[in-house]
Structure 1
């Protein structure tokens, strides 16, 4: 009986932890006068809304509010049931369109500015992309312009990322999509690919039934509030694409695995050249290979990824030279006044805000399963799952996603802004929701949708 009672309470414990973290993260700074610097204040009276990188801005309705509510209703009442029996290609196609509508409608709660204001900001990529002439010169002098006191210093985002992120926006400028609204639409269209790519990976690894369970939570994620127009959502899509290709390489027959593995390495290498945080996705790569019980793609994918990094070095930009310069700029700026005593747990509250509190219920259920997978046999049988290959796949992938954020948090290179910085890891953590009981998933999805709408309506976010 105690084991059964604990099994029933485990999701509630996880959900409770999430809500307490969020409540404390919002309440502690104003109640104590603790200045935690989620962002630089614009005036003496500007307290912001830590832990979020934004401000309180409650609004009853915006242009996208009604469409967002309608998308949420369709997702909860129809899509969540339809995915169980739909053909796979239909699930992927409809899921992409529904997810894209969710992204656009949430962004448009703030009107067209919701799609244009972020990328139009001077700290973002577009302003710098419009000034780029020679790509070769850009790469050769990229590191020189990273220090905050250097001549022609890069704004925050170009300085904080390898050059492929900026080059993406250079390409948009050169094909005539360099306006902030047009670029925002392109980024959002790419961001909507994340859910189908993650689902493809899970299915390839033999867990199609669990992929169908979790599909509504990936398509209609609360993280959509921060994904639309965020370059980090593009990084998330690139990482998810690389992992989907790696799963193909690990499960393919005959020599086709070589091509899949090489393609995976090239895409994952491109991700590394977009974000200094994406090497952490290597933990999810290992989970893919362990799940597939195949290590043969590893040398091929690693070599292909290395070729991308070396190619940039030969062109003038060395990742390993740039990272220490970024570290120095990061700690010379706002990071130095962001107290670790707050952000070590405030970041975990941001994970609940962005991915939704139900994810913590999934993590709570995930923990005993990881212990079971690790050979801890003294757990009560109600806490030990039936170890099907599908359950093993989801446990490994979700656990790897959790490990990514733990490493990022403990390293202190993630202090604030993780509502967008951790976007590449969130869909893999969200897979843990598939382990929840059916009733939890049914009502939990509604809770996630309401949560996303509330965050969008209550705050003016910086992403």
Structure 2
């Protein structure tokens, strides 16, 4: 039975229940707006009295600016996408819809970044704190020696290298070794992987909740404000890896597809070695497993392949728990995030998440959680991962990049909006454009 048939058989909401759903949605939007206003006001006060360090515009690791004519072409593209996407996502065949959505996501992402100039796509990776600076150490020592001594030499590396496991830097070194030199190629890889997550998330939704909800969610995934940090933050690449790992898990579970299970396992095994903060993202594919109940063969292949990357890194001399401990030690003695106020950022981090998912998601969340939908599991799992990281205190600020792999799954709540929902899409695009015009981010 298709999702459409199920929805037709489901009792329609009466006037009272529809009225309550609208009311709760607008209450959620009001809370969303008050949260954002409150944390920016408090953040500005803390900055003035010297208690909020590192940031010019807390809770964002950014500063204020004003774009005028530079934003106009991108605003026209955003208006066109908000107008066209609802029709396209309902009319195109599934096979055509996925590449079309990917192309739309790439265009929107690149257009937003290029409001800051032609080099804005790769400029973030040119910073002296970023991963590409670490490539020189691998070239000097060789990858095997570099990996064996990674933990003991951690304090001498750049901010992002020492704040993460070795895999992201190794990946960029491997890209460089293939002859694709320079941060432009690295940026292209990150943007391609990050935007492809939209396709992977849609595939996941189609397998566990049906094509109807996947089509509803796609326009909101493309225009979500989190797109601002896809070009160019390495966390966008993490989003892509996590999304495809989850999509392959769904395919393997629903179709008893062992090659897909192997691919899912390999990608899932890489997540903790891309970022320590991705461990809690495993809650999302776990939710897929709970919903789909895969066969023992699929689970066996998935788990065995998930062990390959951890075993390879351990054999190479990198012990993951030691990496966590060493990173935490450098974090505590640094003059950066550890000095930020835990009390402020434990709340402010949620405000940044609210900014990334936009008002359309906030409005849809009460409806999503009031229904018994498989999407509730995915949204809830991503939210649980955010809460775990936030409460731990290791994510004090700069979460506009850290939340990227989680925020995209929370945006799935927008599938509760009945198409075409152009006003909500326009609100998402308008918020995205406003942030880009008023906020200068290093990513």
TM-score by length of 1: 0.87
Superposed, which structure 2 residues align to 1:174-193 within 5 Å? 174-193=177-196
Which SS does the other structure have where 1:328 is aligned?
helix
Moved more, 295-304 or 401-410: 295-304
Assess if the C-alpha contact under 8 Å between 1:289 and 1:295 holds in 2. Answer: no
CA drift of 1:365 comes to 2.4
Superposed, which structure 2 residues align to 1:60-459 within 5 Å? 60-62=68-70, 65-133=71-139, 134-147=142-155, 153-253=156-256, 257-294=257-294, 296=296, 297-333=298-334, 334-369=336-371, 373=372, 392-438=373-419, 441-459=421-439
Q: Which residues of structure 1 form unaligned runs of 5+?
A: 41-47, 148-152, 374-391
- Counting helix residues as a fraction of each chain, which structure ranks higher? 2
- Please tell me the root mean square deviation across aligned C-alpha atoms, in Å: 1.8
CA distance in 2, matches of 1:182, 1:196: 22
CA distance in 2, matches of 1:251, 1:323: 35
CA drift of 1:190 comes to 2.0
CA distance in 1, matches of 2:321, 2:43: 37
Which SS does the other structure have where 1:416 is aligned?
coil
Which SS does the other structure have where 1:245 is aligned?
helix
CA distance in 2, matches of 1:4, 1:189: 40
Assess if the C-alpha contact under 8 Å between 1:195 and 1:218 holds in 2. Answer: yes
Assess if the C-alpha contact under 8 Å between 1:221 and 1:449 holds in 2. Answer: yes
| Structure 1 residue aligned with 2:21 | 7
Assess if the C-alpha contact under 8 Å between 1:344 and 1:415 holds in 2. Answer: yes
Assess if the C-alpha contact under 8 Å between 1:28 and 1:34 holds in 2. Answer: no
Structure 1 position 461 matched with structure 2 position 441: yes
Distance 1:229 1:5, change over 3 A: same
| Structure 2 residue aligned with 1:39 | 54
Distance 1:193 1:458, change over 3 A: same
* Cα deviations by residue, 1:157-209 (Å, 9 ceiling, x for unpaired): 11111111001211222233332333223321222111011101111224210
Assess if the C-alpha contact under 8 Å between 2:193 and 2:241 holds in 1. Answer: no
CA drift of 1:345 comes to 1.0
CA drift of 1:25 comes to 1.4
Moved more, 8-17 or 240-249: 8-17
Assess if the C-alpha contact under 8 Å between 1:38 and 1:416 holds in 2. Answer: no
Distance 1:36 1:171, change over 3 A: farther
Assess if the C-alpha contact under 8 Å between 2:165 and 2:273 holds in 1. Answer: yes
Q: Which residues of structure 2 form unaligned runs of 5+?
A: 1-14
Distance 1:3 1:208, change over 3 A: closer
Q: How many residues matched?
A: 424
CA distance in 2, matches of 1:366, 1:163: 38
Distance 1:34 1:295, change over 3 A: farther
Assess if the C-alpha contact under 8 Å between 2:226 and 2:408 holds in 1. Answer: no
| Structure 1 residue aligned with 2:38 | 24
Assess if the C-alpha contact under 8 Å between 2:368 and 2:413 holds in 1. Answer: yes
Distance 1:303 1:197, change over 3 A: same
Which SS does the other structure have where 2:440 is aligned?
strand
Assess if the C-alpha contact under 8 Å between 1:207 and 1:393 holds in 2. Answer: no
Assess if the C-alpha contact under 8 Å between 2:209 and 2:375 holds in 1. Answer: no
CA distance in 1, matches of 2:250, 2:73: 36
